[in-house]
Amino acid sequence: MMTQAAELPWFAAVPVALLLLAGAGLTLVGSLGMLRLKTFYERLHAPTLGASYGMSCILLASMIFFSVLQTRLVLHEIAIAILVLLTTPVTLMLVARAALHRDRLEQSQGVPASARRRPDGDAS
Amino acid sequence: MRRLLPHPVVSGCLFLLWLLLNGTVEPGPALVGLVVALLGGWALALLDPGQPRLRRPGLALRLAGTVLVDVARSNLAVTRIILGLNKDRQAGFIRIPLALREPQALAVLAGILTATPGSAWVEFDAEEGWLLLHVLDVGEEEEWVRLVQDRYAQPLMEIFA
Amino acid sequence: MTVTLLSWSLLLAQLMLGAAMVCASWRVLRGPRAQDRVVGLDTAYVNATLLLITFGIRSGTSVFFEAALVIALLGFVSTAALAKFLMRGEVIE
């Protein structure tokens, strides 16, 4: 296990380790939010933690690790970064709109009836 | 030139992505990548999404920098909220009037706001230009309106003008 | 020295990502409503992608990278289809 890592100099190993821990920590906090936050719309914010800087840190760690190990630039992780960065907002927006649609059909409390500001000024 | 490369930016990005995935710049894979990039550009032209014009690349770069910093700040704020360090917060919906109508600019704004952990784009009323936003920590509603309008919508309007 | 540092930080990172997977899966199982489960599934997909990347660093091969790319793609397509289903009750109209 980890036979190649012995060849890794310390100036690459330290940032890789730190980035891995930071990224995994942020992702864990985001997923903890899935447990701890109370309503659906609050939980909608939780996955973005892992999908923004959590993902970037871990992919950066992977890029540094393989680039130093193979002594050439290994950048194909950028493909995953672009994919996750572009798709996460899209899926979250789709799910949010679907949830809003369903809540309005069921006439749930605390969900705005429309995006427009009413002249009579409903509070929610 | 227009017929060969209807979407030069998209074709260029496809070509770069192909080289990244292959991990080489040898002529063989590069040639295949060139064909893929050209075909991708033509396919997009067939779909006809309209021609977005990027007016001010410098401003676009500055906006990207602002977004990076804002997302990092929002990451920390949401971390505090989830770990229970910020007790007196109130989640809620906010309505924001927008003058932005360009579909591409609106798509970018939606991406920015949803990728920021503290806020999520929920609905947009295209007729009157109202945006419904859900935020994790409302605080001052006026501040959110100003943040979206001045910090993001204004530069986007100049970039996509 | 670098081996111990890297293997311990990798182990810790993988444990944290595993715990994140458990949290997301709990939300998928628990609900209470369909949209909660869909957001949980989306989170689980992103966490699985990152977990595969860490496995790639541990093994030193790029096989896991391709698996991670496929999982990330699958996550987007399935969540988009599920969101469409929630909206209309049908995936294909």
A:C CB pairs within 8 Å: 189
**Residue B28 placed within a domain:** yes
Mean pLDDT throughout B40-49?
Answer: 82
Q: What percent of chain C has pLDDT over 90?
A: 54
Query: How far, in Å, CA of A8 to CA of A65, rounded?
Result: 8
pLDDT of C90:
66
The residues with which B96 forms a beta bridge, in sequence order, are: B131
Tally of structural domains, chain C:
1
The answer to whether ipTM exceeds 0.90 is no
Q: Is A109 on the interface with B (CB under 8 A)?
A: no
What are C56-75's pLDDT values in tens digits? Answer: 988 888 889 889 999 999 99
* Domain residue limits, chain A: 10-105
Residue B106 near residue B124 (C-beta atoms within 8 A):
yes
A 21-50 residues with CB < 8 A to C: 21, 23-25, 27-28, 30-32, 34-35, 40, 43-44, 46-47, 50
Tell whether the model's pLDDT for residue A124 goes beyond 50. no
pLDDT of A123:
47
A:B CB pairs within 8 Å: 111
State the CATH number of the domain containing residue C13. 1.10.287
Query: How far, in Å, CA of A124 to CA of A103, rounded?
Result: 14
Please tell me whether residues B89 and B153 are part of one structural domain. Answer: yes
Tell whether the model's pLDDT for residue A12 goes beyond 90. no
Which chains have 3 or more CB–CB distances shorter than 8 Å to chain A? B, C
**Residue B3 placed within a domain:** no
Higher pLDDT, A106 or A87: A87
What are A29-65's pLDDT values in tens digits? Answer: 999 988 888 888 888 888 888 888 999 999 999 988 8
Please tell me whether residues B147 and B85 are part of one structural domain. Answer: yes
Q: Kindly identify which residue of chain A lies nearest to residue B90, measuring between CA atoms.
A: A42
Record: contact A50-C20, CB cut-off 8 A: yes
**Residue C10 placed within a domain:** yes
Record: contact A80-C65, CB cut-off 8 A: yes
Query: How far, in Å, CA of C92 to CA of C88, rounded?
Result: 10
Q: Which of C62, C68, C86 sits opposite A98 (nearest CB)?
A: C86
Query: How far, in Å, CA of B5 to CA of B140, rounded?
Result: 48
Which region among A76-90, B47-61, B103-117, B124-138 has the lowest average model confidence (pLDDT)?
B47-61
Tell whether the model's pLDDT for residue C38 goes beyond 80. yes
Query: How far, in Å, CA of B158 to CA of C78, rounded?
Result: 36
**Residue B74 placed within a domain:** yes
Higher pLDDT, A122 or C66: C66
First to last CA, chain B: 24
Query: How far, in Å, CA of A52 to CA of A37, rounded?
Result: 19
The residues with which B120 forms a beta bridge, in sequence order, are: B134
Domain that holds residue B79: 57-159
Which region among A12-16, B40-44, B125-129, C88-92 has the lowest average model confidence (pLDDT)?
C88-92
pLDDT of B143:
84
- The most confident of the ranges A70-79, B43-52, B79-88, C33-42 is C33-42
pLDDT of C89:
73
Record: contact A91-C80, CB cut-off 8 A: yes
Please tell me whether residues B63 and B141 are part of one structural domain. Answer: yes
Mean pLDDT throughout A19-31?
Answer: 92
What are B87-127's pLDDT values in tens digits? Answer: 788 888 888 888 888 888 888 889 888 888 888 888 888 88
Mean pLDDT throughout A12-18?
Answer: 88
Query: How far, in Å, CA of C24 to CA of C27, rounded?
Result: 5
The pLDDT confidence band at residue A118, using thresholds 50, 70 and 90, is: low
**Which chain A residues have a beta carbon less than 8 Å from that of C3?**
2, 5-6
Query: How far, in Å, CA of A33 to CA of A52, rounded?
Result: 15
Collapsing DSSP to helix, strand or coil, B92 comes out as strand
Query: How far, in Å, CA of B86 to CA of B77, rounded?
Result: 9
Higher pLDDT, C89 or C92: C89
Please tell me whether residues B72 and B21 are part of one structural domain. Answer: no
Tell whether the model's pLDDT for residue B24 goes beyond 60. yes
The phi and psi torsions of B48 (rounded to 5 degrees) equal 55, 70
The pLDDT confidence band at residue B55, using thresholds 50, 70 and 90, is: confident
Please tell me whether residues B77 and B150 are part of one structural domain. Answer: yes
Collapsing DSSP to helix, strand or coil, B95 comes out as strand
**Residue B52 placed within a domain:** no
Domain that holds residue C44: 2-88
> DSSP per residue over B90-117, as a string?
--EEEEEE-----HHHHHHHHHHHHHST
**Residue C39 placed within a domain:** yes
Please tell me whether residues B65 and B119 are part of one structural domain. Answer: yes
**Residue C23 placed within a domain:** yes
Mean pLDDT throughout C39-48?
Answer: 92
pLDDT of A56:
92
| Min distance A54 CA to chain B CA atoms (Å) | 9
**Residue B2 placed within a domain:** no
Tell whether the model's pLDDT for residue A3 goes beyond 70. no
Tell me the CA distances in angstroms from B100 to B63, B73, B103, one per residue in order: 16, 25, 9
Tally of structural domains, chain B:
2
